[in-house]
Amino acid sequence: MTGMICNVTGLVALVVDDEANVRLFARAALETIGFDVVEAETGEEALELLNELRPDVILLDVMMPGISGYDVCLHLRARHEFENLPIMMMTGLEDMESVNQAYEAGATDFLVKPVNWELMKHRVRYTIRSSIAFRSLAAAQRTAHMGSWQATGANGTLTCSDETYRVLGLPRTSSPSLDGLLTNVRAADRGQVEAAHRDALEQGAAYEIEYAITGSEGGDRFIHERGETVGSGQGRRVVGTVHDITERRRFEKRIAFMAYHDSLTGLPNRRLFKKQLALQLAEAGQTGRRVGILCFDLDGFKRVNDTFGRSIGDMLLQSIADRVEGCLHIKGPPAHEATLVSRSGGDEFAILLRELDTPEDAARVADRVMEDLVRSYRLGHMTLRITPSIGIAVYPDDGDSVETLMKNADLARHHAKRQGRSNYQFFTTDLQAHAEKRMALEGDLELALERGELYLHYQPIFNPFQGRVDTIEALIRWQSEALGRVSPEEMISVAEQSGLVVPIGEWVLRTACEQFKEWMKLSSPPGRVAVNVSAIQLRQPGFAQRVQTILEELDFAPKHLEIELTESVLMEDLDANERILQDLQTIGMTVAIDDFGTGYSSLSYLRRIRPDVLKIDRSFIPDLDDDQESRTIVSAIIAMAHGLGVQVTAEGVETNAQLRFLRRAECDAIQGFLLARPGTAADVRAVLESPTFAAKTNNRWSAA
């Protein structure tokens, strides 16, 4: 029975012939090579079946009652889903006209009756392989958004793959031409495409071009087209491919943007800033005008990140970027002098100023930026305030190259930090000299330990009621062979910036502990030795455990060691530092907060940290002689600390009047020039062993 579709599981062949024996032999042959066979007796029946059936190959008789095989083939080729379906036509006619008519109707192959069925099986296999390869190619082209075409003849008669029409946004036509590919090409690109096609057809020139086409929704898409000539004479043709590279262009544009812009704020990054600065300097070299740069960062930004988290920090940076661009009109009508705002990294920003008449023009911009940035920021449910420190360098006064100007603006920014923050500073040659000196200091400091140029002085801390030495503070000193005596403040600043403070800090700890063990052999030994710790040391992973290891190596009891750190160091990361100090106290060490009262004093953090000792900053002590307000503050600090179970040390005591007041206020320990200046280990030994010194000290206690 013909026209039935059932149990179709593999490759399917549709056999269309009005002769039953032909259909029978065809079925037998096809089934031996794995096909499921469906039969149709007429063209009409075949077309009806093909409304549902999607065969892999059709064997189609040419001469049948009703619709001929030619007409069936033409009808199928007009339907998109069958345009590439393998159709093998069968006929008893052997004239060339019949063969040509079959191929013109769209036949894939041609079989002459009586059919050689063994040969037919091989031709069907080959046709199926070709069809599968063609479909795979078409699928690959769809995936890659790439189409292929070939043009023949002087007019460029075109044969295109399906994807070519889709890529170029063209409707399908049965007989397109090479000129038809230009339909949607953007007017500005049309000339180069026409020239490439013409040269390929007339001269056999290969080409590779990119152009834009206007999409159906009005947006441009980008095409990469390649073409070359193959064959010769009448058989010469141009073959080509078209590739939709719109996504690649977008990706390249995004990559280019990311290469020159900050991903968080969208501002130009340091690389783009330097390129633009180079262009402005080249132009200024011709015009004689000044060019300025402002480099600024945010004072205390690290505390924002540490306290509120990086998400709030990022929101603040975005707000800073918007505010700076707004105040300089970068996004609107541009301010005369403002060309570019960039984020260099972290909390650092830079502003490029062009066509300045005087350096004061840069100062006016800095004033505007300062005024705008100090206003409060509403971020989520919180309100923050932050200030910038700004450095200014101007071409040609402060340098004539990109690197020199940026370096000098950075030096000025660091100077603004040292001047108290929340201000702007111009670069000066003094800053350069200062920077060069610091570089020399850093280089020499690296070798100072090896050369034995570092040494310790020690200052005793006394119990004001018993007149004995309770603690001895170790103080580092540096006598440089090349630079002479370097101040402790300058040395420590360089050590912290260079990271040398970590190995130097360990040397101080070992040296002080070893010396303390010598003092312990005396008849009147001190109770503790105190060493100062920087923020960088404290942030080292496993700091408390490292100190414990050193003490074990030295066979040194932790109860004899006092770790001192300043309030500012403590507050840089209160949560983390709280854990570290607890670890130190658990090991058995004493923890002291130095310079107490210089900006962060509050009951809340003292309740959390619970140090063992508070050292009142020396700035409160000189006025104790005659200033009631200072006396009130110091008395309050002592009372507050005692209420929390914390001992108090007063630093910088230089007069008997100060000593008398501190004793009345029940201060636990006294340190200052009145009793003992910093000195060598031998000097301290003399203090500890001298009966004369002990008697003189006791007299002071009695007088107080």
Which position has the higher pLDDT, 578 or 512? 512
Q: Give the per-residue pLDDT at 642.
A: 92
| CA–CA separation, 63 and 221 (whole Å) | 49
Cβ contact 471:450 at 8 Å: no
| CA–CA separation, 139 and 126 (whole Å) | 20
Q: Please provide the DSSP assignment of 272-329 as one string.
A: HHHHHHHHHHHHHHHH--EEEEEEEEETTHHHHHHHH-HHHHHHHHHHHHHHHHHHTT
Q: Give the per-residue pLDDT at 331.
A: 47
Q: Does residue 164 carry a pLDDT above 60?
A: yes
Name the pTM for this structure. Answer: 0.53
Element (H, E) at 570: helix 567-572
Q: How confident is the model at residue 1 (pLDDT cuts 50, 70, 90)?
A: very low
Give the alpha-carbon dihedral of 615, 616, 617, 621, to 10 degrees: -130
Among residues of the chain, what percentage have pLDDT more than 70? 90
Which position has the higher pLDDT, 407 or 107? 407
CA-wise closest residue to 349 among 335, 328, 334: 328
Mean pLDDT value across residues 404-415: 92
What mean pLDDT, rounded, does the chain reach? 85
Q: Does residue 347 carry a pLDDT above 90?
A: yes
SS3 352: strand
pLDDT-wise least confident of 63-72, 388-397, 690-699 = 690-699
Q: Give the per-residue pLDDT at 463.
A: 92
Q: What share of the chain is helix, strand, coil (3-state, %, to 5)?
A: 50, 25, 25
Q: Does residue 198 carry a pLDDT above 50?
A: yes
pLDDT, tens only, 292-316: 999 999 998 988 888 888 899 999 9
Cβ contact 384:418 at 8 Å: no
Element (H, E) at 175: none
pLDDT, tens only, 642-660: 988 999 999 999 999 999 9
Residue 522 CB neighbour total at 10 angstroms? 11
Q: Does residue 519 carry a pLDDT above 90?
A: yes
Q: Give the per-residue pLDDT at 527.
A: 93
Which position has the higher pLDDT, 341 or 180? 341
CA-wise closest residue to 351 among 297, 398, 315: 297
| CA–CA separation, 372 and 320 (whole Å) | 9
Task: Name residue, tokens 């990559």.
Answer: 255
- Token pair for residue 117? 């069925």
Mean pLDDT value across residues 420-438: 81
Q: Does residue 9 carry a pLDDT above 50?
A: no
Q: Does residue 157 carry a pLDDT above 50?
A: yes
Q: Does residue 484 carry a pLDDT above 70?
A: yes
- 86 half-sphere exposure, CB direction, 13 A CA radius: 25
| CA–CA separation, 535 and 533 (whole Å) | 7
Q: Give the per-residue pLDDT at 6.
A: 41
Q: How confident is the model at residue 676 (pLDDT cuts 50, 70, 90)?
A: very high
Q: How confident is the model at residue 166 (pLDDT cuts 50, 70, 90)?
A: confident
Which position has the higher pLDDT, 508 or 603? 508
Q: Does residue 614 carry a pLDDT above 60?
A: yes
| CA–CA separation, 328 and 652 (whole Å) | 49
- Token pair for residue 406? 């940026």
Mean pLDDT value across residues 384-402: 92
pLDDT-wise least confident of 18-32, 145-159, 327-341, 400-414 = 327-341
pLDDT, tens only, 433-465: 777 777 778 878 888 888 889 999 999 999 998
Which position has the higher pLDDT, 564 or 202? 564
Mean pLDDT value across residues 534-554: 92
Q: Give the per-residue pLDDT at 528.
A: 95
Cβ contact 11:53 at 8 Å: no
pLDDT-wise least confident of 29-38, 292-301, 553-562, 605-614 = 605-614
Cβ contact 409:427 at 8 Å: yes
Mean pLDDT value across residues 88-117: 81
Element (H, E) at 373: helix 359-373
How far does Cα 60 stand from its chain's mean position? 65
